[in-house]
Amino acid sequence: MLTAYDYPTALALDRAGLDMILVGDSLSEVELGRDSTRAIGLEVMEHHARAVRAGTEATHIVVDLPADTYRDPEEAVASGRRLMEAGADSVKLEGALIPQVEAILAAGIPVMGHVGLLPQTAEDYRRQGTTDESAERIAADARALDAAGCFSLIVEAVPEDLAARITAEVTCPTVGIAAGAACDGQVLVSTDLIGQLPEPPTWMTPRADVFSTVRDAATAYRDAVREGGVE
């Protein structure tokens, strides 16, 4: 599973044979340059979901419900319907908000859960589940979301032994990020994977250097134009 926020990236990821594409609210930070995932609303997510849908034929598209759009079950259903109309195959929310999950599912919309680090509400991006008490709480949240009917769970930024425990205790597939290799699948922000920013996260290794490629192409174009060339 990888993120996509635009039509060209969706085209490439769809042809890569992934299981899922996530239109994540991480776009707030990596695409729009804002300080947190909380800085965008439903309209922005709809806009990017439509772009990804236009470039996707075969891959399941999950779209994040942005912060403050699922504060109660009624709002959660309304927001979920808007994202489905924009092109989602399912929606994702953060935390063990079981009434919201059950309401969305009752409306016929598949739901992916998210436990561990919850960027929409976290004060910082520290690893979670590092004490017995917090690990038990996260595992209990995962079991509750699984029992409510989530088709999959994101497990973010927890110790690998906790990710392994969650994966063993739930029936739905788990998808890890910064949680080791014990989950059933993995997800990354494509911007990080392809090195699109000058300083990628220190905890992962980019598989490309798109930032340098774009910079070098722009520099070569600048030089060619200044020398009197045309394209």
Reply yes or no on whether 156 is catalytic.
yes
Q: Can you tell me which residue has the tokens 């016929």?
A: 108
d(Cα 85, Cα 68) in Å, to the nearest integer? 19
188 DSSP 8-state letter: B
Q: For residue 213, what are the contacts with CB-CB under 8 A and spacing of at least 6?
A: none
Q: At 149, phi and psi to the nearest 5?
A: 120, 10
From the list 74, 156, 160, 199, the catalytic residue is: 156
Q: Which of 74, 58, 179 is nearest to 117 (CA)?
A: 179
Residue 207: Cβ within 10 Å count: 10
Give the residue numbers marked as catalytic. 156
